[in-house]
Structure 1
Amino acid sequence: MKKIFQITDTAAKRIHDIIQSENKLEMKLRIYIIGGGCSGFQYRFMLDKTINEGDYIFEEKGVFLIIDPMSFQYLIGGLIDYKEELEGSRFIIKNPNAQHTCSCGLSFSV
């Protein structure tokens, strides 16, 4: 059975490390989508402890992710990863619902 949303070991470790380093153990990673970017929508990430009505909460590999209902519809079946490269480090969403993505991977269209 396909998972609703997945997280790689690398992303889980990085999220855990960020939460530990900021000593905010009650925090979770919120993933959300806003309009804009070169492809129409942009992925955003923030630490959050507030769970809003309708939010989807996922626990995998020892970390919690929060996705709001509007963003969730675009992220079903997705995966969050974390990459460290010469250009920098960042979280990356692999989104099976995206028709097009920009070269940086932070924006997409459906």
Structure 2
Amino acid sequence: MKNQHKKYIKFTKNAEKKINDLIKIKKNNNLKLRIYITGGGCSGFQYQFVFDEHINQDDIIIAQKNTSLIIDPISFQYLYGSKIDYLENLEGSKFIVSNPNAKNTCGCGLSFSI
């Protein structure tokens, strides 16, 4: 499912730049950032990020300019309406998900509950 859901999950220019920078470092232009949800974390569900070049038949691809995200259909339902950002500060650097579906989030921002 390519770009059909583009407007429902967005990522910032900071996230786009970091994704592209990391792909250049890995020297593999076939890589895309996969975002998925797992059980666990302090609040119930946890965001996971991994670079992947394999796209499953039912994966959803969100593309902006020259950058693509891969999301499986189960995770997509939890990420619907979210914005992905990349933050660097004194606490470190990480991808951040602003998720309107999350009722509660933990202090680190990596886990949430519905």
- How big is the shift at 1:3? 1.9
1:33-92 per-residue CA deviation (whole Å, 9 max, x = no partner) reads 000000000000000011112110011132010000110000011010000011100000
**Correspondence list, 1:63-74, <5 A:** 63-74=67-78
The residue number in structure 1 matching 2:54 is 50
The residue number in structure 2 matching 1:13 is 17
The alignment status of 1:79 with 2:80, answered yes or no, reads no
Runs (5+) with no aligned partner, structure 2:
1-5
The alignment status of 1:3 with 2:7, answered yes or no, reads yes
The TM-score, its normalising length taken from structure 2, stands at 0.93
The residue number in structure 2 matching 1:103 is 107
CA distance in structure 2 between the aligned counterparts of 1:96 and 1:75, rounded to whole angstroms: 8
Name the count of aligned residue pairs: 109
The TM-score, its normalising length taken from structure 1, stands at 0.96
CA distance in structure 1 between the aligned counterparts of 2:92 and 2:70, rounded to whole angstroms: 25
4+ long deviations beyond 2 Å: none
1:2-32 per-residue CA deviation (whole Å, 9 max, x = no partner) reads 9210010000000000000110110000000
